[in-house]
Amino acid sequence: MIFAEVIGTVVTPVQHPSLDAKRLLYLRALDPTGQPTGKAFVGVDGCGAGHGDRVLVMDEGNSGRQLTGIPNAPIKTVVVGVVDFIEGADGQLIYNEATT
């Protein structure tokens, strides 16, 4: 799974039918401290995330097919959770939503 930030939404009026009625979020990958790594991508919203949320993103085919229930859905990237904080090995919070 990838740590990412929701930076917007993507509107696609013409698309593969498996994506119909799915919310597409524009995402950018973050390092564990919350800094952007420079990579942007698109994901299907699986948990009601919105702009500014730091999220967990699954980038694997089987999860996408599970979400849609369509066996041949071409969906890999799914937002599966909103991150509250990340704790390092020493017990210190290296990312904390509450203080960002």
Interaction site with another protein (CB under 8 A): 7-17, 19, 24, 26, 28, 36, 38-44, 51, 61, 64, 72-77
Q: What are φ and ψ of residue 25, in 5° steps?
A: -105, 140
Q: How far apart are CB 98 and another protein at their closest, in Å?
A: 21
- Tokens for 28? 């950018």
Q: How far apart are CB 14 and another protein at their closest, in Å?
A: 4
Q: What are φ and ψ of residue 93, in 5° steps?
A: -80, 115
Cβ distance to another protein smaller for residue 17 or 91: 17
Burial class of residue 49 in the structure, from the number of CB atoms within 10 Å of its CB (0-12 exposed, 13-18 middle, 19+ buried): buried
Cβ distance to another protein smaller for residue 55 or 77: 77
Q: How far apart are CB 65 and another protein at their closest, in Å?
A: 8
